[in-house]
Amino acid sequence: MVKKSSKITYEFEGKRTNVKQILNTCKKRRGRSRYLLSVPVKVGDPAKDGAQIDARIVCVRNRSSRKDWIALICTDMTIDENEIIRIYGKRWDIEVFFKTCKSFLKLGTTAHTAFVFLRYMFMSAEKRDDEDDRTIGELFSTLSQVLSTILGNFILK
């Protein structure tokens, strides 16, 4: 997710502008579209290191407030807007899960490390499922063994 800060700028149509200015200058999509705006930008400061990366900013409505919006950025230009929104939704669900575990279950940094590894394994499994035609039986077996080891070590401590 991109911060709506006036200090963070992107190269858009040859000028350095922030996300708010980009949204205000561009025509937004009307109706029941999943996103308001999708624009290609360049990320990086050419004055500092000269290297710039192509990226896409996708602006979507905030579910909790219809007048508010959030901006997502993706450096993979081959992914379409709907896929960017879907991936962000999955990542946000994971962040909410971690916040809940830390707040309500009082899990600290030890558990956080285990959860980070667990998140990586789940995301790897999802990526493999999307890109690989092989079955996931072997992957499930391996993941189960690793998870039981992690949870076994966590419970013993």
Residue 4 lies in a domain: no
Residue 22 lies in a domain: yes
Q: Give the domain extent around 46.
A: 10-79
Same domain, 15 and 72: yes
For the stretch 31-37, contacts whose Cβ atoms lie closer than 8 Å and that sit 24 or more positions apart, written own/partner, are 34/60, 34/81, 34/82, 34/85, 35/59, 35/60, 35/81, 35/82, 35/85, 36/60, 36/61, 36/69
In this predicted model, which residue has the larger pLDDT, 103 or 19? 19
Q: What is the pLDDT of residues 127-138, one digit of tens each?
A: 877 776 555 567
Same domain, 93 and 125: yes
Residue 14 lies in a domain: yes
Q: What is the pLDDT of residues 6-57, one digit of tens each?
A: 888 888 888 888 888 888 888 777 766 778 888 889 888 777 777 788 999 8
Residue 1 lies in a domain: no
Same domain, 20 and 51: yes
